[in-house]
Amino acid sequence: MDFLSAFSWINIRFLLDGLLVTLQVAVVSIILSFIIGGILGVIRFMKVPYLSLIVGAVVDIIRNLPLLLIIFFTYFALPQIGIQLSIFWSAVAAMTIFESAMLAEIIRAGLLAVPQGQMEAGRSTGMTYFSTLYYIVFPQSIKLMLPPIVSQFISLIRDTSLAVIISLPELTHHAKIIYAQDPSAVLPMFVAMTFLYFIICYSLSVFAKRLERKWAV
């Protein structure tokens, strides 16, 4: 098989099927991790007695674990305690756990970057703590948090390829099947994967930059 013949419609469609699974895992994980990470980040910022310390310890532990280890845990270890997840949801759970910890630290750092005087000014006008946090502190911090958050989301999309280790039928898994059947298709498949990952990640980066400019006005 020559280089161009590797890009037959059958192979392209098979790769796109894998890409769809990659996007499904990424989108679900992004939504869940943003919600969970946001809650954990705010809890750490608020310095709730005991709770913030516990959350901080858990976040620090997860942030220092390899994502591959967490994927193994959700797929192989959880069934040992009676929690049976499909390959898809094992990957989503692992990505969500890992990214939630990363986002929690990004959000906490973004909130801490807003001068303390902003919170004090809001409270002095009679606003509650949560109202001040929501209407004054958070709008200022989101501009600081956006670049690292988007960077983390892009990293998540790339990290979905690690789920090939548990046979998640995503892009990398499908590419491996193609070149396992025809070793001469190795280079074309790597070119195809590079192109598809680049298009997705670059599009997300461009969207984030436009959003950042809009909020900067």
Of the pLDDT bands very low, low, confident and very high (cuts 50, 70, 90), residue 54 is very high
Range of the domain at 186: 4-216
Q: Alpha-carbon distance 98 to 103, whole Å?
A: 9
Q: What is the CATH number of the domain that holds 88?
A: 1.10.3720.10
Least Cα distance to 99 among 175, 179, 154 occurs for: 154
Give the number of other Cβ atoms within 10 Å of residue 152's Cβ.
20
| pLDDT of amino acid 2 | 65
Q: Residue 50: is its pLDDT beyond 70?
A: yes
Mean pLDDT of the chain: 88
Q: Number of structural domains, the chain?
A: 1
Q: Alpha-carbon distance 193 to 195, whole Å?
A: 5
Residue 77 in contact with residue 166, Cβ under 8 Å? no
pLDDT tens digits along 126-138: 888 888 888 888 8
Of the pLDDT bands very low, low, confident and very high (cuts 50, 70, 90), residue 3 is low
* Region 15-31 average pLDDT: 94
